Chains A and B, each alone.
Chain A
């Protein structure tokens, strides 16, 4: 991303599906956002708030993770919801993908 900042908080990854069953865990998909240096930090924070409905603190945490670590897992959810989130993030031209949880 285009600017830098200091992370201060450590909220958890958004976890929508908490089935606890093995089959539920096996089918989990991760929504991942990857760093593109062109995206403004405030823009990424705003998009996370708009797409996931997060408060600013949580959105900034994930934005800084993307910036500092190259990626952030934004949600662990079903395939259908992961597709939805990836499409929403890509509408804002963020580099987002869905990956099967290992």
Chain B
């Protein structure tokens, strides 16, 4: 996936055909993070903590239902992904990029949680059950990086670290 053109309102990308399959596959996994994963506080200091936590989980669940609808609408929208001889072209507005980053990171974090939260992303022993989660985590990270690069963000290189 690469950025091919930018205007004020649109970012135009080129996708390989297999990349498109992969993107669709992981977007269909959304949402992967359970609503109870999010905690309002580590200490639960507020007297109304349990009520607040329930409200938070309701809000997260509602937001995900809306995001899920948007994901499915995007995947099915006629003309959104235009196939050419060599690749697939599609465009996103800045607001759509923000939303897609949220969706992709849910899949990435959800995959990581399903793998048992490996430290420093050391992959666990791969089997038929957890392989889709590893794929989801890695692929979501890849697409996130491409979207962030389009916005001018780049992961630090080895040179940056020295």
Contacts and interface: CB of A to CB of B under 8 A. Distances in A.
Interface of A: 2-6, 32, 36-43, 45-46, 50, 79, 83, 86-87, 90-93, 97-100
Interface in B90-108: 98, 101-102, 105-106, 108
Contacts of A97: 39-42
Given A5-B161, A43-B148, A93-B102, A38 B109 contact: yes
B76 interface: no
Interface of B (DSSP majority class)? helix
B1 interface: no
A97 B56 CA distance: 12
A100 B45 contact: yes
Contact of A42 (B33, B63, B155): B155
Contact of B45 (A87, A92, A99): A99
Interface of B: 33, 38-43, 45-46, 52, 56, 59-60, 63, 98, 101-102, 105-106, 108-109, 112, 117-121, 137, 141, 144-145, 148, 151, 153-156, 160-161
B161 A4 contact: yes
B121 A37 contact: yes
26 contacts: A2-B141, A4-B156, A6-B160, A36-B109, A37-B119, A38-B137, A40-B145, A40-B148, A41-B155, A42-B153, A42-B154, A43-B144, A46-B148, A46-B151, A46-B153, A87-B56, A90-B38, A90-B56, A92-B102, A93-B33, A93-B109, A97-B39, A97-B42, A99-B41, A99-B42, A99-B43
Contact of A39 (B63, B105, B145, B153): B105
* Interface-centre pick from A39, A42, A45, A100 (highest chain B CB count, 10 A): A42
Contact of A40 (B33, B141, B151): B141
Contacts of B106: 93
Contacts of B155: 3, 40-42
B105 A92 contact: yes
Contacts of A5: 156, 160-161
B40 A86 contact: yes
A97 B160 CA distance: 30
A43 B45 contact: no
Contacts of B43: 99-100
Contacts of B41: 97-99
B42 A42 contact: no
A98 to B, nearest CB: 6
